Chain A
Amino acid sequence: MTTVTNRPTNRIGLTSQDYQGGTTTLCAGCGHNSVTSQIIAACYDLSLDPRQVVKMSGIGCSSKTPAYFLGRSFGFNTLHGRMPSVTTGVALANRTLLPIGISGDGDTGSIGFGQFKHMMRRNVSMVYIVENNGVYGLTKGQHSATADVGQNLKYAGINELPPIDICAEALAADCGFVARSFAGDAKQVRELLKAALCYEGTAVIDIISPCVTFNNQDASTKSYTYGKEHEERIQDITFIPSYNEVQVDYEPGTEQMVRLHDGPMIKLRKLAREYDPTDRWQAMKLMEESRIANEFVTGLLYINEARATLPQMMNLSDTPLAYINETDLRPSREAFANVMSEF
C-alpha cells in the first residue's frame, strides 16, 4: 500500500491523506470534527495499518464520524447504544483487529449504558471514545445524561438531574485505561489516543466535545469557552513509541513513565497536583473531589494493564476465529462417532 506523492509518509509509507475519510456532514466548528482530526493524526503518527483497524459506532452525531476518517478501514455504524455488543462480537471473531469505537453521551450514558458497562467488565480490546457534549443534537437539543445540573438549553430548559460521569463509571467497572480530555486540547487528545491505541484492553476516553448548535453558550460546562477557561490538566502527557530507539530522558520526581505491554511508553509530567494514575483509588477520589469542586480535570486518570482481555480469558486460538479453515471448523469423523455412541 504505497502512495506516490510528495507528502511526507510514515513508517509504513502512508501519507496522512491515506488516513482521511469522507467529508464531514457535522456542523462547522463541531468538537467531533476536531476529535476526528486527532484520530487521523494519531493513527498516522503510530503508522497503524488501516486494514488492522475497524471503526465502530452507535447512533448519533458522534457515531456518524467513522465515515470521516480512515476510509481504508472496515467499519460498522450499528444501532443506538449497541456498539459495545457488536464490537464484542467483532473482537471475538477476529482478535487481531483494533477496534476504534466512537460514541456520544446519549449513546453511552443513556441507551447504551448497560452495554458500555458490560463491555468494560469483559475488557474487550478497543479504544472507546465518548464525544461528550451533554446534549442530543440530531433530535434538536434535549439534555443528555451527562448534562451538569443547571445546564440550560433553549427548548429543554434547565437540567436538574445529576450527571452520569463516564470516567467514574469506567473506573467502577475496573476499566484499565480511563482518560478525559477536551476537544479544544488537540495535543492532549492526540497523545491520549496514541496511548489508548497501544493499550491492551478497553481504553475509555471521555472527550468534552462542544455542540456549537445546541450547547455552546458560555455558561455551559460543555462549551468551548468553559473548557478553555476551566480545563485543568492533571499532567502533561507525551506518548513515546517503542520504535523510538533513542534514550528516553525523564526527571524522577517531576515525571512518571508508564510502559505499555508492547514497549511504548507514556511520559507524564506532573503539573499542579501530585497524582499517580496507576492508583485506582486516587483516580476515584479525584473524580469525587472534582465533582464536588466543579473542576474540569483532564488527562490520563487511570492506567493498569493487568487484566486479561476477553479473547485471552476465553483461550481463543491465535488464528482469528473468522479465519479458521473448514477442516478445523468441522469435528473429525472419529470425534463425531464417539459422541454419537454416547446416546
Chain B
Amino acid sequence: MTIIDTAVQSSTYDPHTPIVNDFTIVAATENGSGSQTANNALIRAIFKMGIPVSGKNLFPSNIQGLPTWYAIRVSKHGYTARREHSEILIAFNPRTSDEDLAKLPSGGVCIHPADLKFTTPRSDVVSYAVPVKEFIKELNPPQSLRDYIINMAYVGVLTELLGIDRGQIEDALMHHFNGKRKAVDMNLGMVDLAMNYVRTNLPKQDPFRVAAMNETGGQILIDGNTAAGIGAVVGGVSVVAWYPITPSTSLVDAITDYAPKLRPAEDGKVNYAIIQAEDELAAAGIIVGAGWAGTRAMTATSGPGISLMNEFGGLAYFAEVPIVIWDIMRMGPSTGLPTRVSQGDILSAYYLGHGDSRHVCLLPGSMQECFDFAGVAFDLAEQLQTPVLVLSDLDLGMNNWMTKPFDYPSQPLNRGKVLHTESFETFLAEHNNQWGRYRDVDGDGVPYRTIPGNQHPRAAWLGRGTGHNESALYSERNDDWKRNMDRLSHKHDTARTLVPVPVVDSKPGASVGIIAYGSTHDAVREARDYLRAQGVESSYLRVRALPFNDDISQFVAQHAEVYVVELNQDSQMLQLLCSHVPALAGKLRAVNLCDGLPLTAEFVTNRILEHRGVVRK
C-alpha cells in the first residue's frame, strides 16, 4: 500500500495520448470581476455535454479585489469532490499568478494573459499566452463591462483547447442572462475572438480533452441553498426571519425569489412573511413567536448567528415551540473564515442553549436532501414541538452540484398534535375532561398543543421559559421540574425513531468502517474506491440526523476500526459518538480536517492509510 497522489505525475506525458474527461481546471481571478459568469458557463456547458462536472468556489470575504479561485472538476467517473491538484490553471490574477503557477503539477497547463509575466516561469508546463487586451480593444465593450467581459476570454480559450461544444456555451449564457440576447452576444463575442485566436495561433500541446458522454441526462445543476429555499416553500413555510450572514443569505434569497412563483399572491396578498430582522437574536425571537402562534417558521444563519440564538434555543426547547433553524456552516471560531467551509457547529447546534437541552439536527449530504430536509424539518419540529436545526455548509449551500430534479412531495404536511377548537372538545371528551399543555398523554413525551385563536375557553395557556408543571403553570417544585425534564429526555428518545435514518453501505467482511456526514460524502465515496484499489475494503455509514439511532451503534460494533470523517478541529461528531457508544469508543478514529477547504478523497484515503500504519514516502 502507498500513500496516493491523484495529480498528473508524468512530466513527459505524451500530448498525443489524450486525457479525456478526467482533470481539474482552476480559474484564478479577482473577486467581483464577474468570473462567476464565465465559470458557470463552462460548468453548464460541460454538464450539458453529458459529462459529470462540479465546481468549488474558493472566494474571499470581500466585495471586490481579493483573489478568488474556482475549481472545475471534470470526471468521467462521476467524482465531484475537490481535488488536491488542478491540471489546468487560468492565471488571470497577476497578484497570485506566481503562487498559482508553482502549484501546477508537472505537465499541467497554464493559460494566462499575454502581458502577464511570471517571476519564475516553468518549462515543465504547457503555457498558452492570450492577448486579452487586444481582444478588448477589438470588441470595445462599454467601460463598465470591460472587467467582466475579459473573463470570457478564458472561456473561449478552454472551449477551443478542450473541445467544449460552443453551442452549449451559448445556451449556458442564454440561461445565465435569462435569454437577454444583447448581454449574451457581447459575452459570446469575446468567446469567439478567443476561440479564433487559439485556432490560428496556439497549436494544441497538451493532452486534456472533453468528449461528450451520456452521464448527466435528466439531471440539473443547483446549489444547496436554492434547493433548501425551494424545499422550504414547498414544505409550507409561513414566516421567515433572518439576518444577512454568509453563507446562508442565498437561502433566504431563494425563498424570496421562489415563493412568489410557487405560492403566488392572491388579490395582492401573500400567505408567507419574509422579514429581515435587526440581528440573529431578533430573527430567533420572531420565529419563536411565529412557531408558538402556529406557523411553520424558520431562519437561516451561520455559526456567529447560532451563537446569538443560543438563549432562544433553550427557550424553544423548554417551552416546546416548533422552529426550524438552517445553519449553513462556515469556518469559525469567531468571525473566522466567513467564506470557507466547515462542519464546526455540530456540538453547539446539538446542545444549543445553556445546558441540558439537546436538539434534533438534520445533516443533509446532497442537493436532494437539502430540498427534502427543508420539509422534513418542519414536520419534525411540529411533530416533536421542538427546534430542528438543519446543518448544511458553505460547500453544499453555495456551490453547484448535479442532482436529479426534485419531485413534488408525496406526503402531506405533518402538523403534529395541534388541537383546534373542535378537536380540543373531542380531546376533552376522550380524555376524561383532562387537559394540560405539558401532559404526556400518549407516552411518547410529546404533549398536545393549542395555539392562539383556539376559541375553546379552556384552550389558553401561558408559555414560559421558567419552571412549569403539566398545566403550564409556574412551578418551582422539584418534582414538577424533574418530571418535566425526564419527559423532555423521553421526547428526545422518541426523536431518535423519527429522524432520517443513516445511509449504510456495509461490505461483508470489511474491518474498516467509515462514518461521515454532510458535504464530505463525495470525498468519502471516492476515497473508498481508492482504498479498495489499495486492498482496503470499507463499509460506510452516512449520518443524516441527530440524535443517533441504533443503526449507528451496530455499525460501530460490526467494524474493528471506525474512521469518523469531518471538517472541524475538535472531531465533534466523534465526540458525540464516543458518548453514544462509550464501550466502543476505542474503535473510533478521527479523520478530520479544518483548513477551510472542501474535503478531498486524497486526504481521506491517506489519513486512513496512515492510521493503518502506511508511511508517507
Contacts and interface: CB of A to CB of B under 8 A. Distances in A.
A328 B259 CA distance: 12
Interface stretch (B12-20, B447-455, B502-510, B547-555): B447-455
Interface in A46-79: 50-51, 54-55, 66-67, 71-79
A71 B285 CA distance: 24
Interface in A103-120: 114-115, 118
B292 A92 contact: no
A322 B238 contact: yes
Contact of A343 (B222, B293, B297): B222
A102 to B, nearest CB: 12
Contact of A329 (B275, B289, B413, B465): B413
A330 B234 contact: yes
A317 B266 contact: yes
B265 interface: yes
B453 A92 contact: no
A280 interface: no
Nearest to A77: B464
Nearest to A93: B293
A197 to B, nearest CB: 17
B261 A339 contact: yes
Given A115-B285, A321-B238, A314 B273 contact: yes
A103 to B, nearest CB: 14
B582 to A, nearest CB: 35
B118 interface: no
B453 A322 contact: yes
Contacts of A329: 236, 238, 263, 271, 296, 413
Interface residues of A, number: 59
Interface string A71-106: 111111111001011111111111011000000000
A97 B272 CA distance: 17
A328 B263 CA distance: 8
Contact of A324 (B238, B258, B459): B238
B315 interface: yes
B293 A89 contact: yes
B557 interface: no
Contacts of B296: 329
A75 B285 contact: no
Interface in B214-252: 220-222, 230, 233-234, 236, 238-239, 241
B167 interface: no
B286 A316 contact: no
A323 interface: yes
Contact of A88 (B236, B289, B405, B474): B289
B66 interface: no
Contacts of A339: 230, 258, 261-262
A55 B284 CA distance: 19
A55 B221 contact: no
Q: How large is the interface on B (under 10, 10 to 19, 20 to 34, 35 or more residues)?
A: 35 or more
B268 interface: yes
A315 B287 contact: no
B264 interface: yes
Contacts of B405: 340, 343
Contacts of B270: 314-317
B285 A90 contact: no
Contact of B462 (A77, A324, A343): A77
A74 B457 CA distance: 10
A320 interface: yes
A78 B315 contact: yes
Contacts of B234: 330-331, 336
A54 B452 contact: yes
Contacts of A75: 460-463
A338 interface: yes
A273 interface: no
A333 B315 CA distance: 37
B273 A316 contact: yes
A118 B282 contact: yes
Contacts of A79: 285, 311-312, 315, 465
B475 to A, nearest CB: 12
Contacts of A338: 261
A37 to B, nearest CB: 19
A343 B286 contact: no
Contact of A118 (B236, B268, B278, B450): B278
B288 A94 contact: no
A96 B238 CA distance: 16
Kindly name the residue among B230, B261, B273, B282 whose own CB sees the greatest number of chain A CB atoms within 10 A: B273
A124 to B, nearest CB: 10
Contacts of B275: 88, 92, 314
A74 B461 contact: yes
Given A85-B281, A326-B236, A338-B261, A74 B297 contact: no
B612 interface: no
B353 to A, nearest CB: 12
Contacts of A97: 293, 452-453
27 contacts: A1-B457, A51-B454, A67-B474, A74-B463, A75-B461, A75-B462, A79-B312, A85-B277, A86-B292, A89-B288, A89-B290, A90-B292, A91-B289, A92-B273, A92-B290, A97-B453, A317-B266, A317-B269, A317-B270, A317-B271, A321-B295, A328-B271, A329-B236, A329-B263, A336-B234, A336-B408, A338-B261
Given A79-B285, A92-B286, A93-B291, 19 more contacts: A74-B454, A88-B241, A88-B285, A89-B239, A89-B289, A90-B289, A92-B275, A93-B239, A314-B270, A315-B268, A315-B270, A316-B273, A322-B451, A323-B453, A326-B413, A330-B409, A338-B261, A339-B262, A340-B220
Interface of B: 220-222, 230, 233-234, 236, 238-239, 241, 258, 261-266, 268-273, 275, 277-279, 281-297, 311-312, 315, 319, 405-406, 408-409, 412-413, 450-455, 457, 459-466, 473-474
The 4 A-B residue pairs with the shortest CB-CB distance in the complex, in nearest-first order: A89-B289, A85-B285, A322-B294, A93-B293
